[in-house]
Amino acid sequence: MKVLGVDPGLTRCGVGVVDGVAGRPLTMVGVGVVRTPADADTAHRLVLIERGIDEWLDTHRPEYVAVERVFSQHNVRTVMGTAQASAVAMLCAARRGLPVALHTPSEVKAAVTGSGRADKAQVGTMVTRLLRLAEPPKPADAADALALAICHIWRAPAVNRLQLAQAAARRTPAPVRTLKGTR
pLDDT tens, the chain, 183 aa long? 999 999 999 999 999 999 999 999 999 999 999 999 999 999 999 999 999 999 999 999 999 999 999 876 677 778 899 999 999 999 999 999 999 999 999 999 999 999 999 999 999 999 999 999 999 999 999 999 999 999 999 988 776 666 666 767 777 766 666 666 655
Residues contacting residue 125 through CB under 8 Å, at least 6 positions apart: 136
Catalytic status, residue 55: no
Decide if 7 is catalytic. Answer: yes
Q: Catalytic: 68? A: yes
Of residues 68, 107, 119, 144, which has the active-site annotation? Answer: 68
Name the packing angle between helices 140-171 and 105-113 (round to 10°): 100
Backbone angles phi, psi at 21, to 5 degrees: -135, 160
Catalytic residue among 39, 54, 58, 141: 141
Angle between helices 76-95 and 42-60 (to 10 degrees): 40
CB 154 within 8 A of CB 99: no
d(CA 10, CA 20): 29
